Amino acid sequence: MEEVSFFQNNTVIVTQSRFIVESKVYEIKEISSVKVGVSKNYTRTKIIIMIIGFLLMFFKEGRIAGVAIFVVSFFLLYLSQDKFVVRIKTGNNETDGLRSKDKEYIEQVVKAINMAMESQYLKAFPM
C-alpha cells in the first residue's frame, strides 16, 4: 500500500504515518494534538536593555555606550517579529516541530497533520 502525502515542500513532508521536518521525524500515531503556537519574542528584555542604554546616556562616562546600547536595542525591537510554530503534543511532552514567520504556512502544515491524524484514526477504527 502506497503512503498518502498530505503536504510536501523542500523541508517538510506530512504523510499518513509521519511528519518529517528537516532531520526530525514524528510518528503521526504518537501525536495526540497539534496546533499553531507563537514563539516568545523576548520583547520585555529588549525594552529593559533600551531603558538601561537611555539611562546611561545621562552619565558622562557611559554616554557613548548608552547611545550605542539604546540604538541597537531599539533596532532589534523594531526588526523583531513573532514566529509561528507547529506545536506538537506527544504523551506528556510538547515540542515545536517547525518555526516560520509565515502564519499561513504553519496553518497549512497543522491542517495536513490533522488530516494525517484523522487518516490514522480511520485506519485504526474503520466505520
**Would you call 89 helix, strand, or coil by DSSP?**
strand
How far apart (Å, rounded) are the C-alpha atoms in residues 111 and 105?
A: 10
Q: Which three cell numbers stand for residue 39?
A: 514563539
Kindly report the pTM of this predicted structure.
Answer: 0.71
Hey, what long-range contacts does 108-112 have (CB within 8 A, 24 or more apart)?
108/7, 109/7, 109/12, 109/14, 110/34, 110/35, 110/36, 110/86, 112/6, 112/7, 112/14
Q: Which three cell numbers stand for residue 30?
A: 504518537
Domains along the chain with CATH numbers: 5-40+82-116 (2.30.29), 43-79 (no CATH)
Look at residue 121 in the predicted model and tell me its pLDDT.
Answer: 73
How far apart (Å, rounded) are the C-alpha atoms in residues 35 and 84?
A: 10
Hey, what long-range contacts does 1-5 have (CB within 8 A, 24 or more apart)?
4/119
**32-76: pLDDT as tens digits:** 999 999 887 777 888 888 899 889 988 888 889 989 999 998 888
**69-113: pLDDT as tens digits:** 999 988 888 777 778 999 999 888 899 889 998 999 999 999 999
